[in-house]
Every structure is written in structure tokens, then in C-alpha cells.
Amino acid sequence: MRKKTILQLAFIILLAATACNDKDKIDDTNLNGTYTGTFTVQYSNGNSYSNPVTVTLNHNQYTCSSAENRIPAGGSGGYYLEGGKIVFLDENIWTADFDWNLILSGEYDLKFAENRLEISAMKNGVGFYQYKLQKTEQ
């Protein structure tokens, strides 16, 4: 009986391991392109702000547009993928007179399907920062 249970468990593990395929995997070449959409921040005090945004991803380099009111602030530099996350490494110098979480920098959850890209993060207990984007150019 124990041998049968071990064989069944091994089969389930093997099945689970092979169920995920390369189609589910996101890599840099899938993401390359220019995306437009909306950036939204929802602060923990209930205030919410949104603006149009453009994000370009090109071979582990990125640029993000900024709005006049710095919502979002923008950003540019390198990025890498880690599991279901994307990590942006902003290379700019910034003044200290605004919420730096508005800069596209640091670790975000990543969802990508059918040319739609969503990156979002709860940052420092301050608020929820979200980019909902649609690919407009390869």
C-alpha cells in the first residue's frame, strides 16, 4: 500500500512539473515593445490619482514617461525578470520633494497576456501603484 501511495505521489509531482510549459514563461523578448495605458496610485488614506503613461521595454532596458504632476514620475534604466516579478533599476537622479514610489523602480508583480501588460506593487505601506498597459508597437 505504501509503495502504491509513493508511486501515485511521484506521478502527481511529475504531472505538475510537466503541466507548465514555455508558453507560460515570460521572457524579455516577449515583453519588448512600447506600451501605453494608465498609471494609478491608490494611497492608504483612500486618495487615488491616475494619468496616461507610456512604457518602453527593449532588451532589458526601459523608459517610462512622466506626467507634469509626477503621477507617475517616470524613470529609465535596466530591468530583469525574476519569477512572476519584474525589477526595475532606475538610473536617474531625483529631487526629494515628492513620493519616490511614483518612479518606476523596484520590484513589481507582473502579468502579461495577449499584448496586455500589468505591473503593480504595494510599496512601503504608502500605497498601491499600478500600470495597466497595452502594447502599441513591437
The answer to whether position 8 is within a domain reads no
The whole-number pLDDT of residue 8 equals 52
Is the bond preceding 72 in cis, omega lying within 30 degrees of 0? yes
The answer to whether position 64 is within a domain reads yes
The answer to whether position 133 is within a domain reads yes
Domain residues for the domain of 84 are: 23-137
For the full predicted model, state whether its pTM sits above 0.85: no
The answer to whether position 120 is within a domain reads yes
User: Above 80 in pLDDT, residue 129?
Assistant: yes
Under DSSP, is residue 124 helix (H, G, I), strand (E, B) or coil? Answer: coil
The whole-number pLDDT of residue 137 equals 83
Question: What pLDDT, in 10s, does the model give residues 78-123?
Answer: 999 998 999 999 999 999 999 999 999 999 999 999 999 999 999 9
State the CATH number of the domain containing residue 31: 2.40.128
The answer to whether position 9 is within a domain reads no
Domain count, the chain: 1
The Cα–Cα gap between 24 and 7 comes to 27
The answer to whether position 68 is within a domain reads yes
The whole-number pLDDT of residue 27 equals 60
The Cα–Cα gap between 40 and 49 comes to 6
